[in-house]
Amino acid sequence: MLFEIFKRDFINESYKSSEIEGEGKVKYIPTETLKKYEDALFEQGTPEQIYQIARLNLNGVNIKKLGQKIIQSKDEWYNYLFARDVEGADVNAHAQIVIETKDRMLCYTFAQAVHGADIKDLGRVIVDSKDLHYNYLFAKDMEGADVKSHGQVIINSKDLGYNYSFAQNVGGADVKAHGQVIVDSKDLDYNYNFAMNIKGADINAHAQVILENKDPKFNYLFARDIEGTDTKAHEKVVLESKNPKFCYYFARDIKGADIKALEKVVLESENSMYCYYFAKEIKGSNIERLYDVVKEAGDFYYLKSLLSEIKMEKYEEKLKNQNSEI
């Protein structure tokens, strides 16, 4: 209550400051009473109280003097608030208090919220902390950040998620170096996604990981989604896997696929479902041979469906021949 009364009187007294012109802008000369209030605030006020009055940007108040008191207090939170909210604050001096705390969250917040903050010095705290989250955020969000230094922290960590995100979202990131972490990990999912989503990725290096692993799913996906990859090399892996599902997918989705070779694997698998879908959806497939496999398996559902497909195909062929004779 006493501070609220003091604050009210302080504000009222500031209105009495004399206005003068000087150096292209208006200046205010404080009254003697205002100076006394200011001295009292400087000597007895807490960082919070000084901030509450300084942030009002009142006429005639010596912001530099009040800011010095905040700096002397070493209170990192009110140094941040003072720099952020008080017009005329010595931003770098307040930043130094925050830097000395080595609080990575506050350094990030200061750099983000305070106009004129020294991004390099604040960023150095983040780099030295080796905190992956804040190094990523700082490099991503701060114009003028030392991307190379923040990126090196991420690279050294060998963390796949942050290396992927850094390469994807941070302008100026060393895509090759982050990609090498992904390649060295041999992780199929990250190698596939890095090659697909990161501009400048080394497609051949990521493809080699996929090929060497011999996983039919990722070889199919890589051939389907990654422009410039060697689809024939991926097809060879899929064929050698003898997996009817991915042989069918490969034949269905990959331009230039070897239909006959892929069909052979599906036939040899004797899998009714994939024989049915191969016959139904793959142009150039041997429907009758695929039908025979389904028939041999005795799968009534697929047998009936495939029989309808064969009859329809023969009917369409007969109709086509009749039209040509006419």
Instruction: Give me 273's structure tokens.
Output: 């479902």
Report the pLDDT value the prediction gives residue 306, as an integer from 0 to 100. Answer: 72
Residue 102, CA distances (Å) to 118, 149, 157, 189, 283 in order: 15, 17, 20, 36, 65
pLDDT(315) > 50? no
Q: Is the model's pLDDT at 307 over the cut of 80?
A: no
Q: What residue type is 206 in one-letter code?
A: H
Report the C-alpha gap between 49 and 46 in whole angstroms: 5
Count of Cβ atoms closer than 10 Å to residue 121 Cβ: 15
Residue 55 DSSP label:
T
- Of the chain, the end-to-end C-alpha distance in Å amounts to 105
Reported as a single tens digit per residue, the pLDDT across 202-245 is 999 999 999 999 999 999 999 999 999 999 999 999 999 999 99
Tell me the pLDDT tens digit for each residue of 171-185: 999 999 999 999 999
Domain ranges of the chain: 1-101, 186-241, 242-321
Mean pLDDT across 252-265: 96
Say what the pLDDT of residue 101 is: 96
